[in-house]
Amino acid sequence: MGVAVRVIPCLDVDAGRVVKGVNFRELRDAGDPVEMARVYDSEGADELTFLDVTASSSERGTMIDVVRRTAEQVFIPLTVGGGIRTPDDVDRMLRAGADKVSVNTAAIARPTLLHEMSRRFGSQCIVLSVDARRVPEGERPQPSGWEVTTHGGRRSAGIDAVEWAERGQELGVGEILLNSMDADGTRAGFDLDMLTAVRKVVDVPVIASGGAGAVEHFAPAVRAGADAVLAASVFHFGQLRIGEVKDALRAEGVEIR
């Protein structure tokens, strides 16, 4: 924990509105992304992550106009993902105001895309988003016990999640966004075992995502290896505030920004 831990709200967006569900299903409206970004900025969020949660599954690109309007309202780093398929998509997002771009489905289809993107824009701009779950009983096992999914968790990619995170680092990404599809939206806590497993094989920063439900959940994620902690619904619906999470981390001896 030599580097200060970041607290990151995630804006999951569908059709221009922030949404949230459980395990990426039964999505419900949570507000306007531009307004929510402005609030999180004022409350002390260290970064924002903006994900178009249905961009890949519906075969359309991230809404650049919403990204641009959001970026105009915040003065903290903004990561944008969803429907990023080519280096030119990254270029458009960066020009629209994003600081970093996260890639998931397209990189699984063609892993060398990560190398191309990091070489062109720098590792610091490229985040590998890993939507992972424990391999369901009866399906093909993976060495680590976790598999990568795509299309909002609706399809198995048939590859080991821990090995994929390690390969992403080898291909030049500057950060891993590790989202537990099993924990997503459940508010039962982060998948600490998965975090620990990924931390053992990568040196780049790891963002813990999926499962935050109480202030007590964040410090264990940091101890398991997270460099940043991300949450969505608990912030969007007012169950937790950024300041509360930072106070809880500070009380546990975690250095925060």
Number of C-alpha atoms within 13 angstroms, CB side, residue 113? 20
DSSP 191: -
| CA gap 48, 244 in Å, rounded | 17
Active site residue 247: no
The CA-atom distances, in angstroms, between 195 and each of 40, 176, 229 are: 25, 11, 11
The distance of Cα 112 from the centroid of its chain, to the nearest Å, equals 21
CA 236 to chain centre: 16
Which residues lie below 8 Å from residue 89, measured CB to CB, with a gap of 6+? 61, 62, 83, 101
Q: Is residue 159 a contact partner of residue 31, using CB atoms and an 8 Å limit?
A: no
Active-site choice (52, 131, 160, 227) = 131
Please identify which of the residues 12, 52, 160, 227 carries the catalytic annotation: 12
Strand partners for 150:
155
Q: State yes or no: is 12 an active-site residue.
A: yes
Percent composition of the chain: helix, strand, coil (DSSP 3-state, to 5): 35, 30, 35
Q: Would you name the residues annotated as active-site residues?
A: 12, 131
